[in-house]
Chain A
Amino acid sequence: KAGVTQTPRYLIKTRGQQVTLSCSPISGHRSVSWYQQTPGQGLQFLFEYFSETQRNKGNFPGRFSGRQFSNSRSEMNVSTLELGDSALYLCASRRGTDAFFGQGTRLTVV
């Protein structure tokens, strides 16, 4: 059974650009959550999608957005990138209570 797949693994963008990250959940999982990890801050919750609807949202600015497709794949978009957006972005898929993470996308904004 394939795990959670995130693409790309690494990304370098320039300040002001926008970026789209992709996440394919475990087959059968309909919930996809996104997290940002920065040193010393743990995993900060961005948002969760379930059956193509945003079910939960964290405290991030509107530059961070997401969507989920009918096959449960999800994308996260960050517009007008800032240097502080450099982080590891993690996607987790859930069915029930336990969440399983992908490898993450390391975004560097220069």
Chain B
Amino acid sequence: DQQVKQNSPSLSVQEGRISILNCDYTNSMFDYFLWYKKYPAEGPTFLISISSIKDKNEDGRFTVFLNKSAKHLSLHIVPSQPGDSAVYFCAAKSDTDKLIFGTGTRLQVFP
């Protein structure tokens, strides 16, 4: 039972445009959400997080939006750069303090 879902396995965006990565979750008890970026053969790198008491958090080119009623979060990258090409994972912290990850979305930014 996948509690955190990333329904788009891949996304292709032109350099300079906005990349929007989506994530849905099923458990309303999740209270903290994170986004990670992963290059091949490396560990995931922490990008940005958001608490359930907020609906937006911004850090440079990265903004995460949380819609609790829809149990949906999204990561916006503006402007997208070729170096952003990677697999992006969203994660949710459960009430037992466990991090549950989605299956990832592969982002490709082309010139």
Contacts and interface: CB of A to CB of B under 8 A. Distances in A.
Q: Tell whether A pairs with B.
A: yes
B5 to A, nearest CB: 10
Interface of B: 6, 32, 34, 36, 41-46, 49, 89, 91, 93, 96-104
Interface residues of A, number: 25
A49 interface: no
B102 A42 contact: yes
Contacts of A55: 97
Interface of A: 4, 6, 33, 35, 40-45, 48, 55-56, 88, 90, 92, 97-104, 106
Contacts of B97: 48, 55-56
Contact of B99 (A6, A33, A41): A33
A103 B49 contact: no
